[in-house]
Amino acid sequence: MGNRSFHGISPAEHKRLRRLTAAPINGLEALTLFVSKIEDILGPSMEKWAESGQPVALMTEMNKVTYMVITNILFGANVDYDMQKMESLFYDLAQGLISIPINFPGCTYHKALKARRELVKILRANLDERRRVKNKKERAIEEKDMLDLLMEVEDEDGEKLDEETIIDVSLMFLLAGHETSAHATMWAAIFLKEHPEILQKLKKEQEEIIRRRPPTQKGLTLKEIRQMNYLSMVVDETLRRGNLSFAVFREATADVDIDGYLVPRGWRVVVYLRAIHVDPENYSKPEEFNPSRWEQTVKAKAGTFLPFGGGSKLCPGMDLAKLEMSIFLHHFVLHYDMERLNPNSPMVYLPLASTYDHCLVNFKRNH
């Protein structure tokens, strides 16, 4: 992932870099820009699935959509490189993260390192081109993407991020903003179809959002999404019940006593998230899909809801992932329906929880 990604820097530098990159990724300006980008990709894609008249592997198609979303958010819509080549390189890089680190031709890890070098070249050329354009004219706010925002950010001393940091952070977000979002969105659709009363309640909320909208407005706004209280509960319950990320990995920085058991300093610790999210001590009827458990009057105890990790290592792509899920679900419950062709499909649990058939469905428009 590079020397300047969040995974490999010191705690102090991690804190500094997170602070500097928070606004370009999760700030109000960034998320406002992202809404229309996501909707412009999701809307036509869903329409295409419905019009095809053929079964759709929802997991596969959502992977394509979330890849288009994250590359559009990062690079903008007008790119002059081979997107299929980029996707192939990105896939090789992702596979390297879960491979045995043998740097020998033909091995997955070797391919990943080679893919990284190619991706770095593409990003570096992109940054050079942006600097040339910037010297000629300032880009309008609506034309900006994440790379623009990362290039503009400054610390308290007026120092900007260096090129190596921008590249490593960008590659990190290409990974973090892709596959997990696709899986979470797939599970949200599955859970809603299994619970029609919840789907109808969500649909009613979305219809009310549309009813209050000015007649001249086209498309969703961030303000509207933040008013979708029940949809937010559906998203959180999907993340809890879907249990996508199976664990986080940490290191004990001091001797820790847990109920009489000593965890010595320096030991590696695996926090098994899937056990936490279905622990009956944390959640009543944990196997049940119940968005209402997230009513504002009910708050999860600290350390019991960790779909994006926690503390200083909280996944920086959390708000973007929830935004993608929210926009998909808004359009899905209002305009579309689906029927699973293999409702009893076997499951795959690593690295992410999914169905073996990639959720094969008949996807159609509501009449």
Rounded Cα gap, residues 200 and 208, in angstroms: 12
Q: Which of these, 49, 27, 28, 30, lies nearest to 38 by C-alpha position?
A: 30
Is 315 flagged in the annotation as binding? yes
Residues 6+ apart with CB under 8 A from 355: 59, 342, 345, 346, 347, 348
Q: Which ranges in 212-357 belong to alpha helices (H)?
A: 222-226, 229-242, 273-277, 318-335
**Structural tokens at position 218:** 């086209």
Rounded Cα gap, residues 193 and 178, in angstroms: 24
**Structural tokens at position 114:** 């080679």
Rounded Cα gap, residues 337 and 364, in angstroms: 5
Known binding-site residue numbers:
315
Known binding-site residue numbers for heme:
315
